[in-house]
Structure 1
């Protein structure tokens, strides 16, 4: 059975994954290699190239398989191949994080089953110019917080480099100690993922920035420039003892990303009410909607 050929994601798979990711060009935050790599253990990702299509699965504790969107040059062929794989292996089909652009394909295939919105995983999409200027009445409260931060603190912005990575580790450790990451599976995996990104900084095409207050790093963020004209923000951490720190790191980082970037994906809120409220205060231009299918 082809199930035996499934394998976990490793750093050596980067080039192959990037080829398929660029072919498919899904507008969702999950589908960048750094993101898949750092969450590979949490989701127990397994993959296979099957009939020239890269199939990605989450392996469940009972050895079931939940598919993520298939990757191939033709979206229709990709989903046909995925459904054939489910059928060949006598598996009930279930697909998570389906982008809106794939819904018509699923309907054309006339698969039956159920499709449901996955609001908790919708990505927040912003025009870069809006985040880089914060102009207009709708950003008034954010500007006020940012101005207070700038006037109350002796601060400085700088890019992430090999010279400040060790200090970022120190700040991340303090952030995790404060929030008891070791007692929360998701926060613990995110912490391990951040450490992996920083330890392998030169292996990923990433950008990042930090805010120093009185010379000490109090916030950092990590983003990734993607094909065409958009960026996804993977990480944003700040010391909440400094009011306005998140507004400061977001604003200063966006101001310093390449001019070719027109759109910024600030990822999902995962259904956390406070996070949803914070993200909505930035008034996204639109959402990259995702759905779940099962039969």
Structure 2
């Protein structure tokens, strides 16, 4: 069983298998797998017509097989690989649905440790678009201040505004990234590559302008479950009041018509990010964890 480091050239092969399956998890969008491969040391292989991704999480761990092939045989192949390599059998990104499927295939021989830091935030699209209700009153106020203070516009990411968006990202980096914050620098690198290769990755982007200048942008794509849209990246200038809630809302309004849910990914345990994501009142948390033998 050979694993390969995913590149943009592998997107077509990954999508061939991934799109035959369904999940709201952000872990199985091919753009995420490819763009983050250097940070998480992602590699993939095809087993029994399913994609399996190996990362350096928990030493070495494997994703749940995704595709329409024989998932039991695929998992058995991973188990055999682990035995040969003399490494523990660990699977990452396991949802409750995947846990139930594992129990159905193998019996109650596993335990899953769910990690709050890795849980995806799932919102109702309508809630993010309208921001109705007392609990979202503060968001509406920030947006109103933004509209009052600026001549603003929203536009779709395209070849004409692409370079300007990258320039805005580099300015954002200067304001937000300390030299020792390796993960933040990797996040900026992923954001930059997403802007450069947005068409090749099949990403949809949105741009927010205030008085002619780009002050925020977002990038995302549909999840494997067609009722859900995943927001991979959102950047805005924090010193522009209302820029973050404004790009959030406008991106949902313009690019997510017809979707029921919006996955805004995990917070990775970052306190400020968790507070911001919780303030939008998620419909539920999509829990993910590590699966091991009991």
| TM-score calculated relative to the size of structure 2 | 0.92
1:71 matched to 2:66:
yes
Report the secondary structure of 2:26's partner residue.
Answer: coil
Deviation at residue 161 of structure 1 after TM alignment: 0.6
1:259 matched to 2:254:
no
For the Cα contact (< 8 Å) 2:24–2:228, is it kept in 1? no
For the Cα contact (< 8 Å) 2:50–2:71, is it kept in 1? no
Partner residue in 1 for 2:140: 143
Out of 62, 86, 94, the position equivalent to 1:98 is 94
Partner residue in 1 for 2:80: 84
Name whichever of 195-204 and 104-113 sits farther off. 104-113
Deviation at residue 77 of structure 1 after TM alignment: 4.4
Name whichever of 268-277 and 192-201 sits farther off. 192-201
* In 1: Cα distance, 2:48 partner to 2:178 partner: 41
Partner residue in 1 for 2:247: 249
* In 1: Cα distance, 2:138 partner to 2:18 partner: 38
Partner residue in 2 for 1:236: 234
* In 1: Cα distance, 2:163 partner to 2:254 partner: 22
* In 1: Cα distance, 2:110 partner to 2:132 partner: 45
Cα RMSD after superposing both structures: 2.0
Number of residue-to-residue matches in the alignment: 290
* In 1: Cα distance, 2:282 partner to 2:245 partner: 15
Name whichever of 230-239 and 77-86 sits farther off. 77-86
List alignment gaps of at least 5 residues for structure 2.
Answer: none
Report the secondary structure of 2:37's partner residue.
Answer: coil
For the Cα contact (< 8 Å) 2:120–2:287, is it kept in 1? yes
Partner residue in 1 for 2:189: 192
For the Cα contact (< 8 Å) 1:127–1:262, is it kept in 2? yes
* In 2: Cα distance, 1:235 partner to 1:77 partner: 35
* In 1: Cα distance, 2:274 partner to 2:241 partner: 19
1:32 matched to 2:35:
no
Deviation at residue 117 of structure 1 after TM alignment: 1.1
List alignment gaps of at least 5 residues for structure 1.
Answer: none
Out of 107, 112, 116, the position equivalent to 1:115 is 112
For the Cα contact (< 8 Å) 1:229–1:263, is it kept in 2? yes
